[in-house]
Every structure is written in structure tokens, then in C-alpha cells.
Structure 1
Amino acid sequence: METSRADRLKILVLGLAVLGLVAGLVFWSAGNAGLARVAWIAGVVPALGTLLVEILRGLGRGEVGLDVVAALSMTAALVFGETLAAAVVAVMYSGGTFLESFAEGRARREMHHLLSRVPHTATRHRDGQLETVALDDVELGDRLLIRQGDVLPVDGQVSTGTAFLDMSALTGESLPVKLAAGDAAMSGATNAGDAFDLTAVRAAGDSTYAGIVRLVEAAQRSKAPMSRLADRWSLGFLAVTVVIAVAAWWFTDDPIRAVAVLVVATPCPLILAVPVALVAGLSRAARFGVLIKGAGPLENMARIRTLILDKTGTLTDGRPRVVSIGTYGDETADEVLRLAAALDQASTHPVAQALVAAAREAGMDLPVPVDVEEFPGEGLLGRIDGRQVAVGGWGFVTGQCAAGQRAPDMQEQGAVLVAVAVDGCMAGHLVMADPLREGTEAMLAGLRRSGIRRILLATGDRAEVAEGVTRELGLDGVHAGLTPDRKVDVLLAERGNGPVMMVGDGVNDAPALAAADVGVAMGARGAAASAEAADAVLLVDRVDRLGTGIEIAQATRRIAVQSVVAGIGLSVAGMIAAAFGYLSPVQGALLQEVIDVAVILNALRALAIEPTLAVQAEPAQV
């Protein structure tokens, strides 16, 4: 990444401070104390000057920070002739600010990796030729060639062949995902297999990856509430520092002890550890497919006590699946599925497409249907391998048969019954439902162990369907038949029990996501409105990553607090030791900077957080 102007200034100030310190030591060892003091003062002036500018800017914004302590310590050391101590403070302070920038840059590395992977061009089929076009010139319906190793530039559908996509940069999935012709493919994935054609279904600016990049940029610009709290605490710490320094001078009549107290308090770990830890936590969560839009939401996520979940597309997959197959006569269950799916290739109905997907997942070869006739809302007729096949609702299909058949009893709440007839006789039926996502029970149990006290369902679906699906989950409440505004009412009513998180994926969830203390959107297939309104987005289509995000948020906050408490405790102990004369100004400066380096390194432990709540995939190796 290109070095910013502010970073270059920090490097220059650090270089001058180091040069002044080293030159002064050389002169001192040569017996020229006068030149040594001049060199040390020359190294201090740039650091003190830039520090005073920052203090004045802060005062202009109504902020008083711990930079004042650093300025006081350098000034006092110069006034009382402790030029070596002043030079050490200048080197360590400028080195500390540079180290802070370096640490935050290290913590943001995985986020910048997302930005660096944005493709700028695409290869398009046009008039039998291939042409390279700018990404903004890609239009809906364009057929693009995706070569091996290419990053998918836009959201689309696989047009030809089979695609193997590496989703690790987006979701943390360690193994490539296999997609067949007609399957949806997410922009930002990398082609890990042979070249294939992709039909664009969204413009570049509206694609998944472009949205992710915008969210990442917003996350990088955020500042956590805990950091603002640290700024407010700085005034109290400044007062304590000044009181100890003045008391040491007053009771011992030795100004050098006051100087030692000031330098040992420069700068406080409070302003270093918190932002570094939180940015590291954001980066770590992103690697597991949990994109949190800022450090504030990350902190709030660590304090959540109530969780409200949508049903369709969140607790359930949102797509109907075959849960059972019944047969009549001589037909087998596999043959019933094969014939139904083969005919349904001619339909765009979601249930038909779900049947086709189920047959392909089972490895079935589906012949091309002929003489297809579709009756909207009822079913299809056509020929498969020379046999007359009817697929659709029970009434429609039995109407195509010579003899009637009693409809089976439905066991699944909210299930769909698809009947199949062959050559005028009932062949079988398929029961389709939207079951719970795999691992939901384990995920909810893990969340309760992590401190979530109440877990509720809020859905617009019918009450009997919602209760049937969630009967075994042990939820604290089920609210069904809700409109978007009533979902908000449920959320506001739960606020009395503590901070509330809402998880959803549809447009109807967007108001509740925006109203929640933390709104989480299922971003893999969810609506754009919900992703925009939410504070966090699950990039992988698995609700178990919710537990991953909460665990990382809690661990990050613990690391930040540990760093602050340990750093301040050591600083205060050092100040007291300096007040009693056990530390000289030079020794105090060196001790404080050792403390600062230690708390920054401790804060960076957030980059190595290993979540345990229902995570089944390793993070991507960047």
C-alpha cells in the first residue's frame, strides 16, 4: 500500500529524533558534552513541534488528550537540563506513534486484501470474438469468459460447463465450491477450475463484491465508542499524572522527580491498545465471512443479551427441499424424482427449480423434455424418454389420470406436495419443505453459553408453520404473522432485557435491522436493503457464522480491556516509583515505552482469535 503523507511525516520525525539521540551519544562518548546537548535538543524540537500542533488541533475540537503529558515531559526535561531524557522521550514517543500506525496497518491487511482484488476489466463475448472491456461497461445479459485464476467481476449465472470457485476471500471456505450451469455465482470469488462462461445478472456497481468493498471502506473509517470513552478518560489520567508529579516535587523539593513522573506516563496505553485491538477484531471477523461495518458495532456485538431471528432464509435455507418421496405402482423413488425434475427443467417456478437442483445433487442425468405445456399455477405436461409425464398440484395431476388417488397426509408444517403421473397413472409424490439449516440447534446452544439470555423468532410466516419448524429449538418466544413495523415493535419491547441483535435477510427485515442495537443481514442471498440497513453482514450463507462473529467480538473486547488495564496499572506503578526516586527520567522513559510496545503487541492478539462456536471451515490464507 502507498504510504500516506501523515505516515511519511511520522517517519521523518522519528528519523530526526533517532539521529539526534545517536549523534548526542557519540558526542558524549567523545567528551564533548556541549555538542551532545545541542544534538539531543535538535532531535527533540521536531517531535515536540509536531506534538504541540496536534494538541492545538485537539483543543480547537474541544478535546484534551494524553499528548499533553508527552509535551509536558519533553518540555520539563529540557527546562531542567535533562536533555538526554528529553531525547529518549522524543524517540520513544515518535516511535510509539509510528508503531501504532504500523500495527493498525497490519491489522487491516486482510481488509485491504479485499480491496486489492477488485477486478477492473472483464473479457466479453461479442460477435463471435472476445474483447476486454472496462468493468463499468459490462451490461446485464453480457456473456463473460472467466479464465482459471480470474476473479469474477460481477454477479452472474454459470452459462456453460461446471465451475469450481474459490470462495475463501469472501467466506473462509477452504474448499472450492462446485457450480453447475444455471447456478448463481458471486462476484469476488476466484475461478479455481477450467474456464467457463458467466452471464451477468447485475451491473458491476450493484454486484456482491462491490457492495462488500463499500462496507469494508465504511468499516475502516469508523471509530469505536470505546475509543471515544478512552479520550474522555484521558483527562482524568492527565490530572492524576500532574498531581503525582507536583506532589513528588513539593515533598522532595527535587524537580527531577517530577520530570521522571511525567516521562514514565508518556503516552498512556489507553490511546494505543483500544483502536489497534478493535481494528484487528474487524479484520479477523472478516476472514471468517462476518463483515462488521465498524468498530462501534463490534463493541455492541460483544454486549448483546437478546437475539431475534427471522425464519425464512435465516433459520431456514429459504429454498424448498425434497424431504420425502412416496411411490405408487412399480415406480421407484429415484425414478419419480428423475421424471419430475426432467420435466421441471422447462419451468422457472421456484419449486420446479428446487426439484431440478435436488436431482442434480443426486447425480442424475436429466433428459431434455419435449412437447411441454405449462399451466400457470397448476403444473406441466410433457414427454420424457417417450413417456407422457404430468407434474404439479395434486388436483391437476389426478385430473390427468384414469383413476383417482387419495392425497397423502402432510406431516411437515408449511410443506408443498408435488404429484407425478406417468402415462395416465399416478406414479408418486414429493413432499417439499423449508427445513432448519443444519447445525442450528448447536449454534443456538453455543450462543446461550456465550451470554445470550433470550432468543426469539420474529417472522411474517403463519404461526403454525413457525411453531412447527422451531418446536425443538427451545426458543424463549415465537412471534408470527408480523408486518415490518410489528417486527420493530417486538424488538423495542425486548430492549428492557439488554442490547438486542436482529438477524434477517429480506426487505421486510430492513426496518428491524436498522432499529436493533446490532442488525445482522444474511448477505449471501439476502436483499440489498437488509444488507444496507444492517451493522454486520454474513457473507457466507450459513447462520452458524453468527456465533463466530459474536465470539470474535467478545474476545476482541476482552483483549482491549486487558491491554488498557495492564498498561495503566504498570504506568501508575512506574509513576509512583519515579516519585520515590527509584527511576531517573531516562529510565522512566524507557520503561514507559516498553509498556506501550507490550500493550500494542497484546492488542494484536485479536488477529489470532480462534472461534469455537460451530465453525466448520478454516479462514482463508491471505
Structure 2
Amino acid sequence: MVGEYESLRRFGLPVLALLALMTLAGGGLASFSDQVAWAYRLWSTGTALVLVALLVEIVRSLARGQFGLDIIAGLSMGAALAFGEPLAGNIVALMYAGGQQLENFAEGRARREMTALLGRTARTAMRHAGSALEEVPIEVLAPGDRILIRRGEVVPVDGRLLAARADIDLSALTGESLPARFGQGDDIPSGGTSIGAVFDLEVSRTAAESTYAGIVRLVESAQASKAPMVRIADRFALWFLLFTVSIAGAAWWMTSDPLRALAVLVVATPCPLILAVPVAIISGMSRAASLGVLVKSGGAFETLARVRTAVLDKTGTMTSGKAGVVEIRTADGVEPDEVLRLAASLDQASNHVSAEALVQSAHERGMVLSYPSDIVEAPGSGIEGKVDGRRLAVGGSDFVRGRCLSGDPRDLGRDLPPGTAVVAVGIDGVVAGIILLSDRLRDDARAAIAAFRHAGIRRFVLASGDQADAVEATGALLGVDLARGALQPSEKVEVVIAERRDAPVMMIGDGVNDAPALAAADVGVAMGARGAAASSESADVVLLVDHLGRMPAALSIARRTRHIAFQSVAVGLGLSIVAMVAAALGYLPPVQGAVLQEVIDVAVILNALRALSVPTGEARAGEGLPSGGIGR
């Protein structure tokens, strides 16, 4: 029933606005033709039609326990008919119906970025069935199914790439303009568009559990939300109604002229509160969504504008979340790059996390790796074998020392930075060096902190479950006010609650262990591009793009949006109150007052839409700034 009512309202408003316009114009033509009686009939008809629709809306709102500001518009139309001023009533009717239609148009424009996500949802997929293909609804796809993705199609579910390569446009998910390239075995998220050759995908998650489905649910939640400012406006309606009726009643009582009371009611219709706030909030949310920052509700968006403290997780949020080579220490006469190349070549045969880090670092440096042979691996300790005819041992210090005739990795491992892991390398029975691995600071971490400060964040707290010394070292590099390590999830919550006593708090995290703290913060922000589903579900904001610089930008957008909303309300109501006083004193007749109020309504809505056009420099705050990391 609710959906049917909303559809009826959406299609009925243009009809009402058109009827109000036609009766107003028709009555004007009749008046110019000296057909005054017909003019009054047409104006009265237009007023009555919109008034009936408005009364239905008011009754429905009261049944839901909502006391709205539309009551004043209903009073002014009813009074216009009662006092024989149908022209003023018809103008108010057009103002109301047209204003509601303008609000729908403005919200539709403001939601454009978010609704674009919903419109791109895939409905079917081409599934392999033996030697044939069958088109099936995506709801029936199960993990292990093999599907064909054609050029130009949206990837319907999360899956593992079976082809050698795939080029995917992820702009709808991340806002990044450049396509992403995936290799065989890589995980591809749903929602991206294939822009390269046809490829096969092995389904890893059902449609309901896939990345894009989760984003769509977040979008629908965001669109259905109502900001606290709007609820405050609704509660304020009673006081504004009493104020308006008092002014109108006083004008009538002091002058015995009912038209003065009518003029006051006509110019009192508080469209700045009815329209400006939701339009501004939705516009700002849409602008943030276009940058890859999805705010789940208008309430969260408004709260984001008041945040002054940021509690930051370390691993995966301020750091890359993966070990990387930060330093290579070698024995005399040994080249560091050669140690890395040989060790990475041997580690191609291992699936240990440190082996993956060595291979990735070697590839990043453009090294050509050799094929290893005679491989023997001791799980959890190390690996040995031959590369380019040389005997290698790679692993822990004890493992390598036990396979070398000379040298000790510990001699090279003094004064290690906090949180550093050591991979020792032995070549032909001699300890050649050690490779230091650490979770490196994100490339954009320092720039993001600077951008947050520029956006108004006054205090930074680094809270992590990692070792305390590693957290303190990272905190020193970032310049935070407080760094706390070795925290359990419950202790992270305590940190957030303690900070909330002084100022509104934003918590940014990406792991399952961050979910309780995200829920406890005034605004929880999940690194949705790389984080766990639990953190995204409990957060108020999801960062869809793996770029911290977008979050300070969203913060600036929220603050500017809130300023625009209050500005629209203050200016609009201020002008309305001035007009009410003028009407009460007899300087503003009902018809002119109705026209003036229409001008005020259009002005405040256009001002609210400015939230869509946040300056590019401000919206991209934090991007492209120089930043450093742990290591060389």
C-alpha cells in the first residue's frame, strides 16, 4: 500500500500542478474578458482540487504521528475560499503543488549518482551447462558455477577469473576513471563492467551475498533515510503554526479585516523548511556518493558535519594491510637487489605470506625471476632449493643459520624497527643478508591526515590490535595525538566512548574486529573497498574506493551542505516573517503575498541545490598530495 501511495503521489503531483496552472490561466483569461463569475469558478476549482489532495496528505501524516508544516498551506487555501479570494487561493495551490513537484525534481537530480547504481543491477547471466550456454536469473547462481561475461556486460556476482586476463571498468563502484586489469585467479567484484575480451568467471558468492548487492542495499537504505534536521523541522511545525495563527489573528482582531489574516497565512507557508533541508541533504549525499563515499542515512550525513575527532584503525586503514619489503641488509660485497631477486625466485614455490611479499616486491621493482628447482620446504620455517645453479636457503634466522657454514643473520638484525619481520637469505652456504618486512604506511595516509585537519578534524587517535610498539611507531609517522596498541575489540569501543565525551567521533576501520567500535562511534566509516562485510554492515559510511583522500572530501561536503541547509532555512523563513509583518500591516495583499512566497520558495530550493556543486578543489581534498611510508 505504501508503495502504491508513493507511486500515486509521484504521478499525481504533476497532474495537480498542471490543473492549478490551467485554472489559474483560464481564470485570468476569463477575468480579462469580463467573465468575472467564470474566473472565480475556475480559481475556486483549482484551489479546491489541490486542497482536497493536501487534506488527504495531512490526514495520512497525522495517522503516522507526523505533524507537518503543510497545515499552514491548507489553512491559507481554505481561508482564501472562505473569504472570497479564490485568486490568492489558486496561487497558493499552484505554489504548493508546483513546490512539491519541484522538490521531486530536485531530489531526483540530487539522487542521480546513487540511483545510477540501482539501475545497473544485472538480472541474468550466461551459465555454462556442459558444452552449451544457458541464460539464467542471477538468483540461481551458486558458488562453483561457471559463467560467461561478454564485453559491455555488468559482472553479476563476485567470482574468480578463469581467463588469462580481464579489463573491468569499476567506476560505478569506486569512482576511479581508469579501468582495472585482473589476472588469472584474481577475485573480481560484482558491479563492474567488462570493457575487454570475453572471459569466464567461476562464481564465488551468490547474488545476494555479492559486493554489488551489498552496495545496492546500502543505497536503498540511504535513499529511504530522513535527516534529523527534517524531523526537527516537523517538530518545529507546531510552534511556527501557533506563531502564524497568532500574527494572522492579531491582524484580523486589530483591523477587523479578514483579508489581512489571509495575507499573513498566504506568505507564511514555510516551504524553506519543507523543501530546502531534504533537498540540500540529499544533494550532499549524492555528491559524496559520486566520490565513492556512500553515506547510509541523512542522519549520519548531518552528524558527519559535526565530527571533530577521528579514531583510526592501523592495519588495512592507515597501512596497506600486507607485508612489504622495507629494507635489505646484506653482508659485505653482496648486492641487495640480487639477494631479493634470488630469494623471490625461490619463494615462487611457496605459498607462505612472507614468500608472497617477496615475490610481489620483486615484481614491483621490475625484476625478472628465475625458475627454482630441487625444492625442499619446511612449513612455517623456510625453504631451500636451487636458483640459477646456486644453492639457496630462505626463511627464519634459525632455519637459514642451520644451513649455512658461515655468518649469522642475527648480526645483521640489530636495531630493528618496531613491528618488523625478518627473512634471512643464505647463498651457497653463506649468510648473504636479511630482508625486512613490515606493513607499510599507505601512500595516501599522511596526505589524508593533512586533509582531515584542513576539513576541521582537531584530534586523531590511532587504535589497533597490533603490537603497541608498532602502533606507536606508525602514530609517530602520522603525527597523531594518541596511539594505542594491543587492543581487543571491546577496548577499541572503550577508546571511542572516551573520546565521545569531548567531541563527536568518527571511527574508520576495515576489519571484523573494528565492527563494534564503528557501531559505537557517532559516525562509523568502513573501508568497504578492502574491508570485511561485518564492518560495512555496522558502519554509517562505506568508503567504496580504496582512497583515504575521499573521506576528508566527504567531510567537507557534509559541512558545506549543512551550512547551505541552515542558510536556506534562515534566509527563507526570515523573508517569510518580514512578509508576514508587512501583510499584517496591510502593505501586502493576499495575491501579491502569494506571488512573493512563490519567489522565496524557488530561491531557497535553488540555493539548496548548490550542495551538488561543491568546488572540485574542495571535493578532491587530500588527493594527489605528497606522502611517505615506512621504509626507504
- TM-score bin, normalised by smaller chain: over 0.9
Is 1:220 aligned with 2:223? yes
Is 1:321 aligned with 2:329? no
Kindly state the Cα deviation for residue 365 of structure 1 after the two structures are TM-superposed.
4.1
Is 1:291 aligned with 2:294? yes
Change (3 A) 1:194 1:333: farther
Cα distance between partner residues in 1 of 2:561 and 2:371: 55
- Alignment equivalent of 1:403, drawn from 401, 406, 424: 406
Q: In structure 2, the residue corresponding to 1:202 is in which secondary structure?
A: coil
Kindly state the Cα deviation for residue 336 of structure 1 after the two structures are TM-superposed.
3.0
Q: How does 1:237-276 map to 2 (within 5 A)?
A: 237-276=240-279
Kindly state the Cα deviation for residue 313 of structure 1 after the two structures are TM-superposed.
0.9
Q: In structure 2, the residue corresponding to 1:313 is in which secondary structure?
A: coil
Is 1:588 aligned with 2:596? no
Q: Please name the residue that 1:620 is paired with.
A: none
Q: Do the aligned residues in 2 keep the contact of 1:170 with 1:287 (CA within 8 Å)?
A: no
Q: Please name the residue that 2:97 is paired with.
A: 94
Q: Do the aligned residues in 2 keep the contact of 1:93 with 1:267 (CA within 8 Å)?
A: no
Q: How does 1:91-490 map to 2 (within 5 A)?
A: 91-125=94-128, 127=130, 129-328=132-331, 332-407=335-410, 408=412, 409-490=414-495
Q: Please name the residue that 1:530 is paired with.
A: 535
Amino acid at match of 1:418: V
Change (3 A) 1:61 1:150: closer
Amino acid at match of 1:485: S
Q: Structure 1: give runs of 5+ residues left out of the alignment.
A: 618-622
Q: Do the aligned residues in 2 keep the contact of 1:435 with 1:469 (CA within 8 Å)?
A: no
Q: Deviations over 1:316-364 (max 9, x none)?
A: 1111111122344776433333333333333332222222222333334
Is 1:491 aligned with 2:496? yes
Change (3 A) 1:420 1:154: farther
Q: In structure 2, the residue corresponding to 1:319 is in which secondary structure?
A: strand
Q: Do the aligned residues in 2 keep the contact of 1:261 with 1:575 (CA within 8 Å)?
A: yes
Cα distance between partner residues in 2 of 1:92 and 1:108: 23
Q: Deviations over 1:489-521 (max 9, x none)?
A: 111122210211111111111111111111111
Q: Do the aligned residues in 2 keep the contact of 1:502 with 1:516 (CA within 8 Å)?
A: yes
Q: Deviations over 1:281-330 (max 9, x none)?
A: 11111111111110000011111122111111111111111112234477
Amino acid at match of 1:533: S
Amino acid at match of 1:269: P
Cα distance between partner residues in 2 of 1:130 and 1:389: 49
TM-score, normalised to structure 1's length? 0.94
Amino acid at match of 1:463: A
Change (3 A) 1:134 1:60: closer
Q: Structure 2: give runs of 5+ residues left out of the alignment.
A: 626-632
Kindly state the Cα deviation for residue 128 of structure 1 after the two structures are TM-superposed.
5.2
Cα distance between partner residues in 1 of 2:134 and 2:68: 57
Q: Do the aligned residues in 1 keep the contact of 2:409 with 2:433 (CA within 8 Å)?
A: no
Q: Do the aligned residues in 1 keep the contact of 2:189 with 2:212 (CA within 8 Å)?
A: yes
Q: Tell me which moved more, 368-377 or 433-442.
A: 368-377
Q: Do the aligned residues in 1 keep the contact of 2:345 with 2:372 (CA within 8 Å)?
A: yes
Q: Do the aligned residues in 1 keep the contact of 2:293 with 2:544 (CA within 8 Å)?
A: yes
Cα distance between partner residues in 2 of 1:373 and 1:199: 32
Change (3 A) 1:605 1:173: same
Cα distance between partner residues in 2 of 1:152 and 1:372: 40
Cα distance between partner residues in 2 of 1:382 and 1:286: 51
- Alignment equivalent of 1:52, drawn from 48, 52, 55: 55
Q: In structure 1, the residue corresponding to 2:477 is in which secondary structure?
A: coil
Q: Tell me which moved more, 14-23 or 112-121.
A: 14-23
Q: Do the aligned residues in 1 keep the contact of 2:472 with 2:484 (CA within 8 Å)?
A: no
Amino acid at match of 1:416: A
The number of equivalent residue pairs is: 616
TM-score, normalised to structure 2's length? 0.92
Cα distance between partner residues in 2 of 1:215 and 1:11: 30
Q: Deviations over 1:169-198 (max 9, x none)?
A: 112212223333343332222233334443
Kindly state the Cα deviation for residue 126 of structure 1 after the two structures are TM-superposed.
5.1
Is 1:41 aligned with 2:49? no
Kindly state the Cα deviation for residue 61 of structure 1 after the two structures are TM-superposed.
3.4
Q: In structure 2, the residue corresponding to 1:115 is in which secondary structure?
A: helix
Report % sequence identity: 55
Q: Please name the residue that 2:547 is paired with.
A: 542
Cα distance between partner residues in 1 of 2:137 and 2:337: 47
Q: Please name the residue that 1:517 is paired with.
A: 522
Cα distance between partner residues in 1 of 2:128 and 2:337: 39
Change (3 A) 1:323 1:131: farther
- Alignment equivalent of 2:564, drawn from 553, 556, 559: 559
- Alignment equivalent of 2:506, drawn from 481, 501, 506: 501
Q: Do the aligned residues in 2 keep the contact of 1:14 with 1:94 (CA within 8 Å)?
A: yes
Q: Do the aligned residues in 2 keep the contact of 1:342 with 1:384 (CA within 8 Å)?
A: yes
Kindly state the Cα deviation for residue 371 of structure 1 after the two structures are TM-superposed.
4.3
Q: Tell me which moved more, 410-419 or 523-532.
A: 410-419
Kindly state the Cα deviation for residue 4 of structure 1 after the two structures are TM-superposed.
2.4
Q: Deviations over 1:425-478 (max 9, x none)?
A: 444432111122123223223323333222111111111111112213332212
Q: Tell me which moved more, 512-521 or 537-546.
A: 537-546
Q: Do the aligned residues in 2 keep the contact of 1:388 with 1:423 (CA within 8 Å)?
A: yes
Q: Please name the residue that 2:578 is paired with.
A: 573
Q: In structure 1, the residue corresponding to 2:436 is in which secondary structure?
A: strand
Q: Do the aligned residues in 1 keep the contact of 2:549 with 2:620 (CA within 8 Å)?
A: no
Q: Do the aligned residues in 1 keep the contact of 2:272 with 2:601 (CA within 8 Å)?
A: yes
Q: Do the aligned residues in 2 keep the contact of 1:266 with 1:589 (CA within 8 Å)?
A: no
Kindly state the Cα deviation for residue 370 of structure 1 after the two structures are TM-superposed.
4.2
